[in-house]
Amino acid sequence: MIKRTLKQVAEMCGGNSRGFEPTTIIEGVAIDSRSVRPGQLFVPIVGERFDGHQFAKQAMEQGASAMLWQANRSLPEELTTIPRILVKDTLIALQQLAKAYRSELMTRVIGVTGSNGKTTTKDLLAAVLATVYDVHKTEGNLNNEIGLPLTILQLAEETEVAVLEMGMSEFGEIELLSNIAQPDAAIITNIGESHMVSLGSRAGIAKAKLEIITGLNEQGLLLINGDDDILTQQMQEKSIDEMTFDTRTFGLLSHNDWSAAIVALAEDKSEFNVYYNGESSSLENVVLKVPGKHNISNALAVIAAARFFGVSAEKIKQGLLTAQITGMRIESTLAFNGAKLFNDCYNASPSSVKAAIDYVAGLSNYKRRFVVLGDMLDLGEQERNMHEEIGEYVVNHPIDVLLGYGPLTVETIRVANEGKASSTAYHFQQKEQLVDWLKQQLTAEDVVLVKGSRGMQMEEVVTLLEKG
């Protein structure tokens, strides 16, 4: 983690020092006073509903060496003797500090963004690179304008590669993160439908995701999903003159620079062969312990980035085989009676829900396939149509029972019932009612996939089914 004198920190974040010896050392940064460790710099963030300045005294009692202080905040008498750096805005200062620290490191950075699959891609990539390098990756949800700077400031100076996830909800956010992280390589997994409310369309989302090239190393690599029509169209419209970095495509279709031929799909893994520019590569019979065809596409992005970083085919296969994926992404567990459960509750959009339905439809050796869906949120004016579209999609796949929870899935269930017998799809007003009904129907020979947007907290259904 960052270890600098307070004089250096003040210069790096553009602040003015007050009340401290310039040689005092800070080691690490914290924004939560409850988690401050001795020697850290406390950064009080100001939000819509909170002001971290109110907890500065607690942070210092926890052992912080110094704190940032926003110039427009009055300083309590008891804090006047505390070492502090006066700044105009503590969040901007945190971001400037992270950018300055990043520029001093020899660490190579890979930025990962996309509507779906960015966390899985980040986890896979970190595991593959860790077979060769000292790697640090984004943990949890530290992928925004606060979390990414904190992640950078956590980097040890000897870290060789950092894999940084970049999330966004508005235009300009990825540009900010890219300028802070200054990536040597960047991956855009795909363009989905999340954030339609703020960005208007998939084209708008693609434009926002492509902001990642703003801070990209001129000699770096951009990897985009070549199966994504909107993303490839946006790239074609960009001026070649503004892009000195290399650009490569990945995806399941053969026209991509990096593509794959599927050897086998199972409920807990996939096996595939990798092709580069249409030719067989040294990566054959690659085993991925993450199910679903969409994750093969994610793995191709990982492989392309790993080869750019000089990782051998053997090490790539080793890393993909042993990677640990963040929870609630087609996470396997068992119901109270032994029925198979798949927890895919981290988030949901039309494209990711369709991928989940494809996955369940491809499972064999089960008596019945159940899909439980919560609402997909943040879809804007098209939310009703998109929920209806999922109902149509289910009709055309071998799903035995579809259950819905939330006001928007009413439309999904209605359309599914119009296309099939009315006994195959049901809507519930309460999760407990849904679970009670499901418990009466499930046998140990059945499989259930549960999915919904983060705000729907559909993992509660999984927990209730596990408990019995």
For the stretch 92-104, pLDDT in tens is 999 999 999 999 9
Query: Residues 335, 341: contact at Cβ < 8 Å?
Result: yes
Tell me the three state secondary structure of residue 428: strand
Query: Residues 221, 243: contact at Cβ < 8 Å?
Result: no
Q: Give pLDDT tens digits for 155-204.
A: 999 999 999 999 998 999 999 999 999 999 999 999 987 766 667 788 89
254 is in an annotated binding site: no
Give the pLDDT of residue 195.
67
Type of residue at 18: R
Give the pLDDT of residue 21.
75
Q: Which domains does the chain have, with CATH numbers?
A: 3-95 (3.40.1390.10), 105-322 (3.40.1190.10), 331-467 (3.90.190.20)
Residue 214's Cβ-count burial label (10 Å; 0-12, 13-18, 19+) is middle
Give the pLDDT of residue 9.
95
- Cα–Cα dist 178/3, whole Å: 23
Give the pLDDT of residue 19.
64
Give the pLDDT of residue 421.
59
Q: Of 351, 260, 254, which Cα lies nearest the Cα of 303?
A: 260
Q: Of 196, 252, 244, which Cα lies nearest the Cα of 221?
A: 244
Q: How many CB atoms lie within 10 A of CB 154?
A: 18
- Cα–Cα dist 125/135, whole Å: 10
115 is in an annotated binding site: yes
120 is in an annotated binding site: yes
Flag residues of the chain having pLDDT under 50.
Answer: none
Q: Give pLDDT tens digits for 218-265.
A: 999 999 999 999 999 988 877 655 678 999 999 999 999 999 999 998
Type of residue at 16: N
Strands 331-334 and 425-428: what pairing?
unpaired
User: Percentage helix, strand, coil, to 5, in the chain?
Assistant: 40, 20, 40
Residue 375 DSSP label: P
319 is in an annotated binding site: no
Whose tokens are 């005092």? That residue is 24
Query: Residues 107, 151: contact at Cβ < 8 Å?
Result: no
Give the pLDDT of residue 184.
98
Q: Of 325, 293, 320, 288, which Cα lies nearest the Cα of 305?
A: 320
315 is in an annotated binding site: no
Give the pLDDT of residue 193.
76
Give the pLDDT of residue 422.
53
